[in-house]
Structures are given as structure tokens and as C-alpha cells.
């Protein structure tokens, strides 16, 4: 006997009965629901995890420094009971009705070890209240049988409920309902082109009430050898499946729904030292690899669905890494309405494990499955009828859509033909017309330009003008604008050029400026030099004037003396005394000898003074030339500097030549 959907052929004599409706007809994406259950502190004396919930956001907040986990479907606090959780699954998630509607459903418990996973699913061993002990399985089973009975009486259906229970332990799968003393592991079977795996030889226990289930599960507990007080963590994963078949003799259909409950072992890895009492190191390795495989598959499935939302093959997801993940395929990625029930510790010492559980649960929340009902026709005719009906509905939908589109098209046409109908339509139509006209004009313009390029003859231009009217004007205006643009560009270029020249000139002016400045500095220096010379000359002139005055006085005294002597000589001659004539020893008339050894001779204007035999001791005062109104002083190069005349002085100019005088002056006195 097979476990899973593909064994349906074994249930019915006709192989045709195994065919199901095409998946695309009814398949829809269904996100996995995630429900979190917080369990009360195990260690009263130890600190509590700083964790609080916000029900309106379905979020869990650890504390301000850590990441928050939100968008879960429902969070149950530490005071919640199994009854609360059942009500949510039955009323909010509609699990039992989904099974009756021929859907596969799965509830998978997930979370750290010893956080109440088994207690929530099966039975809470330690709860005081008897009712509170009851787990989800018996509660859901009760509801299921009640509804099946109702359907039977109201709709004349016949039903069969079967129970499968098996355990996955270190990659081996064991049938937990098998009566054999010796446990035999089951083999997984995979059909081509099918996502899910099936189990060969699994016991199907037909049950007729919840009591049957409870009785069977009690035996399973014994076989599992789980201690009644549950002090140690489990190392196996338990699968409990209720297979519900409803046959309707009126419409000759078979509806198959499944409820799969998976009680996974703790999601936290086993420790070689701490857990050596419950498993050998080899076993711990295997158990840990199973736990890791589940977490890895969840992560990869999420990545795959994010990257390829429409690819259901999911070849990149490593389901094959473990028997456990192979058995979980249908629940997490196939045709199943699935809910993850994450049980979470509130003890501070479990903080890391709680965070890991919440993290994985957040990832699971983003995964979706593809669901469709498992409705099987009993006969080929019925199956064909169903398909026909389905196709008919599809066709009707297509026809409806075609009609709708046609109506839309007609309305649009009418509006287009009669623009007065509605303002908005009118505007649209006008816009359309305008766009079309613009488009047409542009095409024509392009054509015209092409022809102008290809056939530039006048005759051709005339023909084009005649044909295209406004188009030519547009073209002309374009050409005109283009030429204006060209002109502007040319003027800009010219301005740029002028600008460049001006810049160059400015540069050069800068050079000239500096040259002028240098020259100016030179001239200022020369002027200063000349001013100094003038100052010196004026000083010298003043000295010379006082010397002249002095000579005049001497001259007067000497003239007086000469007169006196001449008078005495004439008196001597007259008196007959022998007296020697020494007239050659007197100075020549008109010449003056200064006390300083210089000779100053009055000269006629503009007449050069002849070289004097008197040597000049002062180099500043050389050969002198006097002229009326000015005094000229020469050094090695002759220069004449004007000076104001002193009253009474009849000198016109004085030329000073450096170096010794060679011969006496020729003097022409004007006095």
C-alpha cells in the first residue's frame, strides 16, 4: 500500500479513477500560515526573556536592540490553551472544512526541544485540567467525524477515514502501526514528473471515531518509548496522517482530503556532551544533519520562490538531502494548505534558540504552496463531463471577454466618428487627431527633406510645393530657423575670437605696462640725480658770486693802488730821479687773479674762452664760459643748466670743464 496521493489507484478497481483534474484549472498559490505559541517559563527561579507581543501587528519584540519578528498569522501567549489553538485552526483557518472540500492540509510543529510541540498536537501529559490535556489531533478528529456524519445524512455520501502513523529516525522511516515485533524501515518511492514521494508498504488503519485514533496513538506512544514525564527531548520526527475519502453516489465523484500532523523533534542541534545520554555521537550527527537539512530546505525554497515565483519544479531546493525533507515536500512546496506551529520558550537561557526559531518562522511565512482539490471522477464519462464543464466555463469566460472588448471598440469608434458625444471622449479624439496630424506632417517633412536632398532641381521643388502646401512653409521656416541658428553660431564664434584677441592684447598691455614702469623708475632716478646736480650747482654758483664780489673789491683796491703808484712814478719821473720802468711786471689790464688761484675773466656772450695756462686745482671748476643771463657748467660732457641772474652780476654763463686749464683765456670784457 502506498502513502500519499498516487496510491489512489489501489483504492479503486478502475485505473481511470486515479486521474485528477488538470492542476491549472483550480490551483492557487497559498502562503504558509505561521502561528507562534509561547510556553510558560520552565525555570521559575531564572530570568525571563525580555519578549513581548503586539497582537494587532502579530509581531514579537525581544527588546529595543534586537530585530523584531512580525507578520505572523497569530501569536498565542503563555496562558493560551490547546482549546484556543484548536478554535483558531478550525474556525479561522477552516482546516476541517478544507479536508471535506478535498484539500490536503498539514500542521507542522517547529521549535526548540521541550517547548510543547507534542503536547499541542497530541496530548499534554502534565496539564492539570483533563480537557486541557487534549491536543489538536483528537479535537480536529472529533470535528471531522461530526461533519462527515452530517454530510452522509444530508448529501448521501459515503466516507472512509484511514490513519497512517510513521516515524523518521536517523534517515530511517518506521511504520508505527505495524504489529510486527521487529521494526522494518519503509522505502520512499518517487514517480517521475511528480513532486511528492510516497511510502511503500505503509499500514492504513481504517478508523471510525476519535476514540479509535486515541487508542492507536496510545500504542504509538508505547512504541516510541517516550518517557511519561517527558524530561528528555525526542530524537525522532512523528508523522500522523488522516486520509479522508468521500464518495458521492449522486454525482459519482470521489473527494479525497488529508490532514497531516508532523511533530518535528527540537530545532536546536544536539550537543555531543550534554545529550550523550540520549544518543551516541554517531546518532547525534545524523539527527543534527536532519535538523540542518530541514532548515536549509526552508531557506533555499524561500530563495527559489523569490527568484522564480512561477517555477514550481524547484530543482535547486535540496529536498533529496534527507528522508525527512523528502517527506515534507508536499506540505511545504506541493499541494497542501499548510500551517507551521512554532513553539517558543520564554526563558532567558533559551534566548538564542528562541531567536533562531522566530527567524526560521519568518522565512517560512514567505513560502507558498500550490493548492487544488483532489476530486476524482469514478468513471471516464464523468471525468470527461467534468472536463467538458470546465472547458465550457472557460469558453464562456473567453466569449464574455471578447464581447466586452468588442463593445469597448464599438464605443470608441462611435466616439471617434461623432466627437460631439462626450467632452472627455471629444478631448481624447481631438488629441488623437492632433497627434495623427502632427505625425503626418512630420512624415511629410521627412519625405520632403529626403527629396530635397535627392532631387534639388527647381522643377521638382515646385511640384513638391504644389503638393504639400503647408509642409513647404514648415520646411522653409525650419530652414530659416536653421540659418538663423547658423548666423547666431557664427556671431558667437566671432565674439569668441574678438574676446580672444582682447585677452591677448590685455596680456601684451600688461607687458608694456611693466616696461613703462621700469622706464618711469629710471627717469625718476635720473631726475633725482639731476636735481641733486642742480642743487650742487646752485651752491657752487652762490660761492662763485661771493668770490666775484670779493675780487671786485680787490680789483678796486688794486686799481686804486695802481693809480697811486702811477701817480708816484710820474711824480718821480717829473722829479728826475733814476727809476727802472717795470711796466712788464704789472698784470694785464682786464684780468683778475683770485686768491684761490683761479682766474675769472669776463667774456663776451657766446664767445668761447681760450685755454688758460693757469692750472685749476678744483676739478669741479674747470674752464669757464660766461654768458649773459645764464651760467653753464660742464663736466666731461657739456651740459647747460639755467639759473636766475644775481643782481649786478654781468656774467652770462659759466662753463665748467673738468681737468686742468692749458692756456690763458682770451678775454673780451663787456663791462
Ligand X SMILES: Nc1ncnc2c1ncn2[C@@H]1O[C@H](COP(=O)(O)OP(=O)(O)OP(=O)(O)O)[C@@H](O)[C@H]1O
Query: Which residues in this chain contact ligand X in the complex, by CB under 6 A?
Result: 39-40, 113-119, 124-126, 230, 233-234, 265-266, 343
Written in H, E and C, the secondary structure of 456-513 is: CCHHHHHHHHHHHCHHHHHHHHHHHHHHHHHHHHHHHHHHHHHHHHHHHHHHHHHHHH
Q: What is the DSSP string of 522-585?
A: HHHHHHHHHHHHHHHHHHHHHHHHHHHHHHHHHHHHHHHHHHHHHHHHHHHHHHT------GGG
If the CB atoms of residues 44 and 637 are measured against ligand X, the closer one turns out to be 44
Alpha-carbon dihedral of residues 233, 218, 224, 205, nearest 10 degrees?
A: -130
If the CB atoms of residues 222 and 497 are measured against ligand X, the closer one turns out to be 222
CB atoms < 10 A from the CB of 64, how many?
7
116 assigned binding-site residue: yes
Q: How far apart, in whole angstroms, are the C-alpha atoms of residue 617 and residue 595?
A: 12
If the CB atoms of residues 118 and 204 are measured against ligand X, the closer one turns out to be 118
Smallest separation, CB 263 to ligand X (Å): 6
Smallest separation, CB 355 to ligand X (Å): 17
163 assigned binding-site residue: no
If the CB atoms of residues 198 and 234 are measured against ligand X, the closer one turns out to be 234
If the CB atoms of residues 207 and 358 are measured against ligand X, the closer one turns out to be 358
DSSP H/E element including 352: helix 351-365
Smallest separation, CB 370 to ligand X (Å): 30
If the CB atoms of residues 133 and 634 are measured against ligand X, the closer one turns out to be 133
Q: How far apart, in whole angstroms, are the C-alpha atoms of residue 539 and residue 641?
A: 13
Smallest separation, CB 47 to ligand X (Å): 18
DSSP character at residue 605: T
113 assigned binding-site residue: yes
Residue 374 phi/psi, 5-degree rounding, is: -95, 85
Smallest separation, CB 82 to ligand X (Å): 8
Q: How many residues are recorded in the chain?
A: 671
118 assigned binding-site residue: yes
DSSP character at residue 347: B
Smallest separation, CB 125 to ligand X (Å): 5
Smallest separation, CB 134 to ligand X (Å): 13
Report which residue's Cβ sits closest to ligand X: 116
132 assigned binding-site residue: no
CA distances from 626 to 262, 645, 651 (A): 143, 12, 5
If the CB atoms of residues 115 and 204 are measured against ligand X, the closer one turns out to be 115
469 assigned binding-site residue: no
CB 32 within 8 A of CB 328: no
Q: C-alpha cell of 660?
A: 686742468
Q: Which segments are annotated as binding site?
A: 111-118
Q: Which segments are annotated as binding site for ATP?
A: 111-118
Amino acid at each position: 500500500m502506498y502513502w500519499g496521493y498516487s496510491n489512489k489507484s489501489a483504492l479503486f478497481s478502475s485505473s481511470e479513477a486515479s486521474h485528477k483534474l488538470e492542476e491549472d484549472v483550480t490551483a492557487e498559490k497559498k502562503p504558509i500560515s505561521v502561528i507562534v505559541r509561547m510556553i510558560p517559563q520552565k525555570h521559575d527561579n531564572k530570568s525571563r526573556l525580555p519578549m513581548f507581543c503586539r497582537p494587532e501587528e502579530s509581531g514579537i519584540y525581544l527588546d529595543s536592540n534586537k530585530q523584531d519578528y512580525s507578520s505572523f498569522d497569530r501569536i498565542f501567549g503563555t496562558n493560551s490553551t490547546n482549546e484556543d489553538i484548536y478554535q483558531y485552526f478550525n474556525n479561522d483557518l477552516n482546516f476541517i472544512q478544507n479536508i471535506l472540500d478535498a484539500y490536503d492540509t498539514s500542521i507542522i510543529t517547529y521549535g526548540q526541544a521541550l517547548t510543547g510541540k507534542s503536547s499541542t498536537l497530541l496530548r499534554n501529559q502534565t496539564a492539570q485540567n483533563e480537557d486541557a490535556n487534549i491536543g489538536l489531533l483528537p479535537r480536529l478528529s472529533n470535528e471531522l467525524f461530526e461533519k462527515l456524519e452530517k454530510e452522509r445524512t444530508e448529501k448521501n455520501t459515503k466516507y472512509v477515514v484511514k490513519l497512517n502513523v510513521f516515524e523518521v529516525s536517523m534517515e530511517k522511516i518506521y511504520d508505527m502501526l505495524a504489529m510486527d515485533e521487529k521494526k522494518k524501515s519503509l522505502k520512499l518511492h518517487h514517480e517521475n514528473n511528480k513532486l511528492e514521494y510516497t511510502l511503500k508498504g505503509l499500514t492504513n488503519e481504517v478508523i471510525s471515531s476519535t476514540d479509535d485514533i486515541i487508542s492507536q496513538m496510545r500504542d504509538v506512544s508505547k512504541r516510541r518509548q517516550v518517557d511519561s514525564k517527558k524530561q528528555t527531548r525526542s530524537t525522532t520526527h512523528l508523522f500522523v496522517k488522516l486520509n479522508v475519502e468521500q464518495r458521492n453516489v449522486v454525482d459519482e465523484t470521489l473527494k479525497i482530503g488529508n490532514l497531516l500532523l508532523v511533530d518535528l523533534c527540537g530545532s536546536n542541534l544536539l550537543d555531543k556532551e550534554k545529550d550523550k545520554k540520549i544518543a551516541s555521537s554517531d546518532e547525534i550527527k545524523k539527527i543534527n544533519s536532519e535538523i540542518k537539512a530541514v532548515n536549509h530546505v526552508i531557506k533555499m525554497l524561500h530563495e527559489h520562490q523569490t527568484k522564480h515565483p512561477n517555477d514550481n519544479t524547484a530543482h535547486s531546493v535540496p529536498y533529496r538531502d534527507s528522508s525527512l525533507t523528502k517527506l515534507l515536500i508536499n506540505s511545504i512546496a506541493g499541494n497542501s494548505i499548510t500551517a507551521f506551529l512554532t513553539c517558543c520558550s520564554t526563558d532567558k537561557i533559551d534566548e538564542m534558540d528562541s531567536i533562531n526559531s522566530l527567524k526560521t518562522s519568518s522565512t517560512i511565512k514567505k513560502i507558498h504552496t500550490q493548492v487544488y482539490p483532489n476530486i476524482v471522477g469514478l468513471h471516464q464519462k464523468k471525468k470527461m463531463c467534468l472536463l467538458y464543464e470546465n472547458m465550457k466555463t472557460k469558453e464562456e469566460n473567453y466569449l464574455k471577454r471578447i464581447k466586452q472588448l468588442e463593445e469597448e471598440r464599438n464605443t470608441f469608434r462611435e466616439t471617434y466618428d461623432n466627437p460631439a458625444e462626450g467632452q472627455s471622449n471629444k478631448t481624447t479624439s481631438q488629441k488623437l487627431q492632433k497627434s495623427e496630424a502632427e505625425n503626418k506632417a512630420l512624415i511629410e517633412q521627412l519625405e520632403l527633406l529626403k527629396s530635397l536632398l535627392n532631387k534639388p532641381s527647381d522643377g521638382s521643388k515646385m511640384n513638391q510645393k504644389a503638393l504639400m502646401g503647408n509642409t513647404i512653409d514648415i520646411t522653409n521656416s525650419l530652414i530659416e530657423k536653421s540659418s538663423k541658428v547658423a548666423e547666431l553660431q557664427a556671431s558667437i564664434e566671432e565674439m569668441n575670437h574678438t574676446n580672444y584677441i582682447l585677452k591677448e592684447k590685455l596680456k601684451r598691455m600688461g607687458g608694456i605696462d611693466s616696461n613703462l614702469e621700469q622706464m618711469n623708475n629710471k627717469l625718476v632716478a635720473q631726475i633725482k640725480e639731476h636735481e641733486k646736480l642742480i642743487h650742487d650747482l646752485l651752491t657752487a654758483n652762490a660761492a662763485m658770486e661771493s668770490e666775484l664780489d670779493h675780487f671786485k673789491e680787490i680789483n678796486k683796491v688794486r686799481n686804486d693802488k695802481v693809480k697811486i703808484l702811477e701817480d708816484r712814478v710820474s711824480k718821480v719821473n717829473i722829479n728826475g730821479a733814476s727809476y727802472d720802468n717795470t711796466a712788464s711786471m704789472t698784470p694785464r689790464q682786464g684780468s683778475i687773479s683770485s686768491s684761490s688761484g683761479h682766474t675769472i675773466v669776463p667774456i663776451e656772450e657766446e664767445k668761447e674762452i681760450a685755454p688758460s695756462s693757469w692750472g685749476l686745482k678744483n676739478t669741479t671748476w674747470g674752464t669757464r664760459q660766461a654768458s649773459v643771463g645764464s651760467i653753464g657748467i660742464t663736466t666731461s660732457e657739456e651740459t647747460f643748466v639755467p639759473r636766475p641772474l644775481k643782481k649786478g652780476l654781468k656774467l652770462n654763463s659759466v662753463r665748467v670743464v673738468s681737468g686742468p686749464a692749458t692756456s690763458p683765456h682770451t678775454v673780451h670784457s663787456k663791462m
